[in-house]
Structure 1
Amino acid sequence: VMPRFIPLNYQQNSMVVINYLDQLQPGTFEYAIHHLIDDKLDLSVFYPKYRNDEMGRPAYDPAALLKIILFAYSKGITSSREIQWCCETNVIFKALSCDSVPHFTTIAAFVSGRRSEIESVFEQVLLVCHEQGLLGNELFAIDGCKMSSNAAKEWSGTFKELEEKRAKLKRQARYHMSEHEKLDKNERADEARKQRAEQAIETLNKAHDKIEQFLKTAEPRMGKGKRPKEVKSNITDNESAKMTTSKGTIQGYNGVATVDKKHQIVVDASVFGEGQEHHTLQPVLAHIQDRFKRLAISDDILKAQTIITADTGFANEKNMEYLHDNDINAYIPDNQFRSRDPKFNEQKNKYGKRHQDKKTRNKPVFQASEFSFDPVTNSCVCPAGETISFRGIRETEQGIKTAYFEGRLLQCRNCDKKHQCMHNPSAADHRKGAGRQVSFRLDNNRPPTYTDWMKHRVDSPQGKQIYSHRMSVVEPVFGNIGSNKKLNRFSLRGKSKVQGQWHLFCLIHNIEKLKNYGQLAA
């Protein structure tokens, strides 16, 4: 017996009646976006760029564009073509855009060309958070999230390295030209080989011309510090930088967020094209101070003794002096603060250092104290009795003079004690350069520094209790943005455009907090 089913005809057309407001149900993120933009925010900041009040076709409403972009970003969709496709096929996008379908170029131009307007929307949402009591202003945690940009690190280098790369491309192009001439003379040569040779020549010439144009129009990029050195430029996006992360080296930007403790609201979102974070502390604090005054939240949030916390990447002597002289209630530890805490001694012995290879994690390593150092003659003898080379005295970021020594690789490679001395002895057989490196602080009889002042603050029982909140305040924000929203790279080029995108990332996080804890949650 064959059962009977309702027949299915996928070729049929049907009319579906949809009320767009019915698709935006209270309690959802799309409802929060729609309600905020229509009832709470002033989008007149977007109007001055339009010039169609008397002539020209009507433009897409910035309210509709902002709604679909925020909703798309919340789902991990940053491609403007994909956002256009969603407006054509997805009922929630249709409801937010009121069935308008902006072209992908319109969407892309809105994201990349409205940095200041997006920042104004970010501040308006922050003010709504303040009015609804979501800001505690008790403790701010600052941290950076390094993300790749729309530029390849292979196109990075100092001007000298780029000149060498240009010369190499020219040599390769000449070689392919000579090969192509030989193929032309050979009547039996395969046409496919000729085409491949022509394509290779064209590709190499384009790359050569790209580097040559950059070298003619740009200036060497200099780092920061007392004695600035040239840092690597990038031909594609010279405002981005090479950065070392836990997942390797990337070409990108550092998105720095300042997060309020009470409900993890982002109060400042700034982008920096440099990997070192200690240069970013003072600009970030200045942004916060200025923003809170403009929004009439606080005349001087830093003088109000709001606690500022940040990790060791933000610590150097200059920043500690700035915090001390401006009476800022900050707790920013140096990179040795855990070694001074007896609670962490057992953890270090039990778990070892992070990112250390499992095979070498528990192997004994000779400490600097086991090397014989003579500060008078600036000489050093290793545990094996060999004199290792003196590499000079330099000042650290904390202003502490340090003597540096390193052994010759040939010495260390053939040493019987290399397994007790070198951190990774197996690499010594393949590596070029130096052997074991060691340094000694020359801080005897030196005057106290501002870093010492911060050490006492962080090492105090109150300081340890306060600093323990930092990670639980700021890290979940990056977890939400990076993992839940899948926003783990910047898709634009140029610091200004990336700044607008980072504000969008953090704006979505703040709107979610309003949805969960504000009046929208009622």
Structure 2
Amino acid sequence: MPNFKKYNYSQDAMVVINFEEQIQPNTFEFTLHHLIDQHIDLSAFHEHYNNDAGGRSAYDPAILLKIILFAYAKGITSSREIQWQCEHNITFKALSCDSVPHFTGIASFVSRYPEAIESVFEQILLVCDEQGLLGNELFAIDGCKMSSNAAKEHSGTLPELEVKRDKIQRKIRACLKEHKKLDGRKPAERERKKQLESASATLGQEFERINQFLKTATPRMGQGKKPKEVKSNITDNESAKMTTSKGTIQGYNGVAAVDKKHQIIIEAQAFGEGQEHHTLEPMLTGIKQRYARTGISPDILKDQAIITADTGFSNDANNEYLRREGVNAYIPDNQFRSRDKIFAQQKDKYGKRHRDTLKGTKSVIPSSEFDFDRKRKTCRCPQGNDMWLSHETVESTGKRKVFFQGKLTDCRDCPIKASCMRNPDSANTREGAGRQVSFTWTNGRTATDWMKRRVDSREGKAIYGHRMSTVEPVFGNIGTNKRLNRFSLRGKTKVQGQWRLFCLVHNIEKLMNYGAIA
């Protein structure tokens, strides 16, 4: 029989520890510790403290920032968990010098100082530039949708919320009515009465929340030329209901601009809308202002730094803005692959892709399968039937759009109407309509045509090929490796501060890998 040393986990020991020795070089905590102590000015936090003339002493912002960023690097965002780590984890003890901030103080620090967090973000960006980690030649912009601290069940337009409130009120009345019927009955009914009382109280709280929100709320309008009312949220009305590949969430879109050389995040903003096209101009403005404030470049966009983004950022307004401001951008439209000969056989090889399948709606034969003659303004359906020109529009920018509709008699007996129409049964009614398609083209002089020529050029294809390898790994590192995939705060300003903390973790890790912090 082998003879092993005995061990027992259920025992206490007094251990002498030097905190400085626990922070070993070439680790995230070492880089974080030396960055904050030797390179970062935290006076932006100091302005918020007014206890110099009296009152209890506060925890140093340097200590709080170290333990929060180190916790985020480990995927820990709960303030209670961070407090526990400071009590039990030796690395947290070393970074905090054995101090244990209360979880309420940790949560308050994260949510109260978004402007000071931006100052830290900017200073670390400046350190990255001093260390030679910024190329300042190509920036890739993209967004990452994350859930927020609000339930999507509490979302709806104001009319929808009114209907929900009235429905809850009817349920309360039904509970009270049943409770009244049970008065004076057998003791066996007491349990049911308690259930009704509890249900009435819960429904009453929900009714009051919605009712108070409706008293002060105004309709929340979406983006675009003709904005429509979008869903409000009674918990966090600056967040939005967003559709992702993993389902619908209530959250924010964290948008980041990433430098190509070492994938350093140079700008980070959070937006409470799912669509990305309206975020391009604020992001470019943010990049320009940040570079001017840090002294890296007085006008980085005028220096012809290349901007790339995916098709979600492409629309006529953005292209017009980019051309007017002289921005060296390459942002393709959603048809740029179909114009590329390299992808000509993609559909045959991999099959057709329809985004509607992700949304749970029916996919139909796309308009590209219809025979459209732009010169004659005629259209034939896949079965060879002529369609009639419903109407056409011409915009001041030179953009033309024509709408065609299938004849009801043709669509009613068409053998492929089940795959061609979203609602085939409508063709069987007198008031129904046949298949509808539209086609858009321009006079070749619009800003969108200008962008198409740039993206379709040999140089444009080569440049745009760097976009995915620049920005996508950043979101993979933040969301998957670091597990920072959910916001714990409410309100755009606070969420934006937390999003920049997430991005700080990524940038500090880059400094650890490629910089020389000592």
TM-score, normalised with respect to structure 1 = 0.89
Evaluate the alpha carbon distance shift between residue 383 and residue 86 of structure 1 in structure 2; reply closer, same or farther with a 3 A threshold.
same
Match of 2:484 in 1: 487
1:441 maps to which residue? 439
Give the Cα separation in 2 of the matches to 1:87 and 1:49.
24
Asked whether the equivalents of residues 389 and 408 of structure 1 are also in contact (C-alpha less than 8 Å), the reply is no
Q: Distance in 1 between matches of 2:280 and 2:200?
A: 48
**Letter of the structure 2 residue corresponding to residue 439 of structure 1:** V
Deviations 1:116-171 (A, max 9, x none): 00110000000000011110001000001111111111111111111111111111
CA distance in 1, matches of 2:381, 2:365: 16
For 1:376-391, what aligned pairs fall within 5 Å after superposition?
383=383
Q: CA deviation at 1:224?
A: 2.1
Residue 465 (structure 2) pairs with residue 468 (structure 1):
yes
Q: 1:434 and 1:65 mapped to 2: Cα distance?
A: 65
CA distance in 1, matches of 2:170, 2:392: 42
Instruction: Confirm or deny: 8 A CA contact 1:67 1:96 kept in the other structure.
Output: yes
For 1:22, the aligned partner's letter is E
Amino acid of the residue matched to residue 298 of structure 2?
Answer: D
Offset of residue 226 of structure 1: 1.6
2: distance between equivalents of 1:435 and 1:186? 61
Q: What residue number does 1:199 align with?
A: 198
Q: Which residue of 1 aligns with 2:334?
A: 335
Deviations 1:228-286 (A, max 9, x none): 21111111100011112222221111111000000000000011111111111111111
Instruction: Give the match's secondary structure for 2:182.
Output: helix
Aligned match of 2:509 in 501, 508, 512?
512
Match of 2:154 in 1: 155
Residue in structure 2 matched with residue 283 of structure 1 by the alignment:
282
Once the two structures are superposed, the pairs formed by residues 50-65 of structure 1 within 5 Å of their partners are: 50-65=49-64
CA-to-aligned-CA distance 1:369-406 (integer Å, 9 cap, x gap): 5378999999987738697996x767899874434567
CA shift at 1:42, angstroms? 0.9
The aligned counterpart of 2:106 is: 107
Show the counterpart of 2:28: 29
What is the distance in 1 between the residues matched to 2:166 and 2:60? 51
Q: Is the 8 A contact 1:388 1:406 kept in 2?
A: yes
Q: CA deviation at 1:176?
A: 1.4
Cα pair 2:364 2:421 within 8 Å, conserved: no
Question: Is 2:499 the partner of 1:497?
Answer: no
Change over 3 Å in CA distance of 1:189–1:374 after alignment to 2: farther
**1:252 aligns to what SS in structure 2?**
strand
Aligned 1:42-191 pairs, distance under 5 A? 42-191=41-190
1:408-433 deviation per Cα after TM superposition (whole angstroms, max 9, x unaligned): 999979853135535899x99xxxx9
Q: Quick check: 216-225 or 448-457, which moved more?
A: 216-225
Give yes or no for contact 1:65–1:97 (8 Å, CA) kept in 2. Answer: yes
In 2, Cα distance between equivalents of 1:141 and 1:214? 39
Question: Which residue type is aligned with residue 299 of structure 2?
Answer: D
Q: How far apart, in 1, do the equivalents of 2:190 and 2:393 lie?
A: 62
CA distances 1:172-211 after superposition (whole Å, capped 9, x unpaired): 1111111111222433542221111111111111111111
Q: Which runs of 5+ in 1 are unaligned?
A: none
8 Å Cα contact 2:138/2:305 also seen in 1 = yes
Moved more, 346-355 or 139-148: 346-355
Q: Residues 157 and 413 (structure 1 numbering): CA distance in 2 closer, same or farther, change over 3 Å?
A: farther
2:419 and 2:170 map into 1 onto residues whose CA distance is 47
SS of 2:299's partner is coil
**Bigger shift: residues 459-468 or 53-62:** 53-62
Aligned length: 510
Amino acid at match of 1:370: F
SS class of match (1:127): helix
Matches within 5 A, 1:189-268: 189-268=188-267
Q: Identify the match of residue 449 of structure 2 among 436, 452, 456.
A: 452
When residues 3 and 133 of structure 1 are mapped into structure 2, their CA distance, relative to the original with a 3 A threshold, is closer
Distance 2:384 2:516 in 1: 70
SS at structure 2 position matched to 1:348: helix
Q: 1:497-516 deviations in whole A, cap 9, x for unaligned?
A: 10010000100100011110
**Deviations 1:479-514 (CA, angstroms, capped at 9, x unpaired):** 000010001111111001100100001001000111
CA distance in 2, matches of 1:227, 1:140: 31
- The code of the aligned residue for 1:141 comes to A
Maintained 8 Å contact 1:406/1:434: no
CA contact (8 A) 2:240 2:272 kept: yes
Q: Secondary structure at the match of 2:281?
A: helix
After superposition, the Cα gap between the structure-2 partners of 1:93 and 1:317, relative to the gap in structure 1 and judged at 3 Å, is: same
Structure 1 residue matching 2:469: 3-state secondary structure: helix
Identity, % of aligned pairs? 61
* Alignment partners' CA distance in 1, 2:499 and 2:412: 48
Asked if 1 retains the 8 angstrom alpha-carbon contact of 2:367 and 2:438, the reply is no
Where does 1:350-429 land on structure 2 (aligned, <5 Å)?
350-354=349-353, 365=365, 367=367, 369-370=369-370, 383=383, 400-404=399-403, 416-418=415-417, 421=420
3-state DSSP class of the match of 1:253? strand
Q: Which runs of 5+ in 2 are unaligned?
A: none
Are the structure 2 counterparts of residues 8 and 466 from structure 1 closer, same or farther at C-alpha, using a change threshold of 3 Å? closer
Partners of 2:119 and 2:72 lie apart in 1 by 18
1:104 to 1:408, Cα distance in 2 relative to 1, 3 A: farther
Distance of 1:48 and 1:519 partners within structure 2: 31
Larger deviation, residues 87-96 vs 171-180: 171-180
Q: Which amino acid aligns with 2:89?
A: N
**1:8: how far off?**
3.8
In the alignment, residue 482 of structure 1 is paired with which amino acid? G
Partner residue of 2:475?
478
Structure 1 residue 440: Cα displacement: 2.1
- Give the aligned CA root-mean-square deviation in angstroms: 3.3
- For 1:514 and 1:342, how far apart are their aligned partners in 2? 41
Amino acid at match of 2:267: D
Cα 1:251–1:12 shift into 2, 3 Å: closer
Equivalent pair of 2:385/2:410 in contact (CA under 8 Å)? no
**3-state SS of paired residue (1:297):** coil
Give me the TM-score of the superposition, normalised by structure 2.
0.90
Q: Distance in 2 between matches of 1:26 and 1:129?
A: 18
Closer, same or farther in 2 for the Cα pair 1:476/1:317, shift >3 Å?
Answer: same
